[in-house]
Amino acid sequence: MGETSEGMTDDVYSNGSIQNSNGSLEEKLDELRCLMGKSEGDPLRIVGVGAGAWGSVFAAMLQDSYGHLREKVLIRIWRRPGRSVDKATAEHLFEVINSREEVLRRLIRRCAYLKYVEARLGDRTLFADEILKDGFCLNMIDTPLCPLKVVTNLQEAVWDADIVVNGLPSTETLQVFEEISRYWKERITMPVIISLAKGVEAELGTEPRIITPTQMIYRATGVPLENILYLGGPNIASEIYNKEYANARICGSAKWRKPLAKFLRQPHFTVWDNGDLVTHEVMGGLKNVYAIGAGMVADLTKESATSKAVYFAHCTSEMVFITHLLAENPEKLAGPLLADTYVTLLKGRNAWYGQKLAGGEVNLDMGDNIKGKGMIQGVSAVKAFYELLSQSCLSVLHPEENKPVAPAELCPILKKLYKILILRDFPPDAILQAMREESMNDPRDRIEIAQSHAFYRPSLLGQQP
């Protein structure tokens, strides 16, 4: 017997196959249906809201696993209509289709291949919701998915949903869920919501605080907090769908996180669970801040291993310091925080954005919604974290100068990123200057400062001291 996460055991047979002791897919689905009070003939309705890379992969992963059980579960995804696919992207998509024999055959069987030929020639315009139905996400063209049931009318998508998966950026979450709440006014039972969103927003006022996507959803809908969960990494969306080893952590109330972890868990997709929703969600946003800087450093130093390692040491020391502001027992976060940060710095869209920004292939005037990649959440997160941690009412005692300073003053990398990305006072190569300044302390010193001083500020997460 082999032991895996959260007490799950596997039987390994002589041929190397693995039979999960959590039971078959149908048994796992039946358990979740029972918990949600679904009767025979009433399918469990799962709806993804937002069709970015992670949101689309999540819906496709569920469709691949459970979609054949049509009488027991219906899986669909909502995205806004009208987004067109430009000719260059259509040409690239055609190349991807013709390089994958199984995809080519699937489209021919569905009588859908001809429209991609016409789009490549410029004789037809494709739309993002149209190609999603055929299994192509506009933000991840090189990773074909399975065909999905796509709905472009938000009310139709969500009004009777049992489980809603939030795949929207944090900057759009509140607005969309305020609209959704209008369609739920007559509901007797509230749905379960799983948020995949990684960004955060800052609320500056008498009590400055971080606002997370799950808090936005609660404010907008009134869905009980125990029904709202966060699912985060470390993982990369395309690797999950390609069935490479991937990992996730679902956070929230025990009532839902444990059965959902079991429901989502697959041989290639390990899912752990944790009760600390808000802090993990905030850290999921924080990693994107530093990932942009990591991309800049990689490009500016031509992938210098030493420079990247020094940057990693500096940024993680700032993250450790920030966790001591946010959590009473931050050491519990060290494993998932560093793992999620590491994979995002290596291969995330925010690191990609930093590289392209430093190399001059993208610029700040293009905004933070980049063609082929989607929303670069780290930009708004830099603004949110820096402005929040610059509030004088959150001041901490500077360990060397022995005077109160805003927490942002002890985070030089965050400060420099804010001046590059938000104020635009400096070009991207200023990130290297920040690392080389004589006043830059050894990262170990900042960690010692964090661990030896009482910096905890519960008000930052809306908690009472």
* Catalytic residue numbers, as ranges: 287
User: Which contacts of 1-8 are long-range, i.e. CB under 8 A and separated by 24 or more positions?
Assistant: 4/270, 5/270, 5/271, 5/272, 6/258, 6/261, 6/272, 6/273, 8/262, 8/265
DSSP E strands: which ranges in 94-158? 126-127, 150-151
Please tell me the distance from the alpha carbon of residue 275 to that of residue 292, in angstroms, as a whole number.
29
Nearest of 251, 254, 262, 180 to residue 222 by alpha carbon: 180
Place of tokens 């949110």: 384
CA distance 459 to 115: 54
CA 77/CA 107 separation, integer angstroms: 20
Is-contact 166 173, C-beta < 8 A?
yes
Round to whole Å and give the CA distance between 364 and 386: 18
CA-only gyration radius of the chain, Å: 23
Rounded to whole angstroms, the Cα distance separating 183 from 181 reads 5
Q: What are the backbone dihedrals phi and psi of residue 211, each rounded to the nearest 5 degrees, phi first?
A: -115, 120
Within the chain, what is the greatest distance between any pair of CA atoms? 72
* Amino acid found at 433: Q
Tokens 């700040």, residue located = 364
Amino acid (1-letter code) at residue 177: F
Per DSSP, the residues of 329-375 read SGGGGHHHHHHHHHHHHHH-HHHHHHHHHHTTSS-GGG-SEETTTEE
The answer for residues whose C-beta is within 8 angstroms of residue 167's C-beta and 6 or more apart is 48, 49, 50, 51, 52, 54, 55, 56, 58, 59, 196, 197
The whole-angstrom separation of Cα 399 and Cα 237 is: 41
Q: From the CB of residue 364, how many other CB atoms can be counted at a distance below 10 Å? A: 13
Give residue 178's identity as a one-letter amino acid code. Answer: E
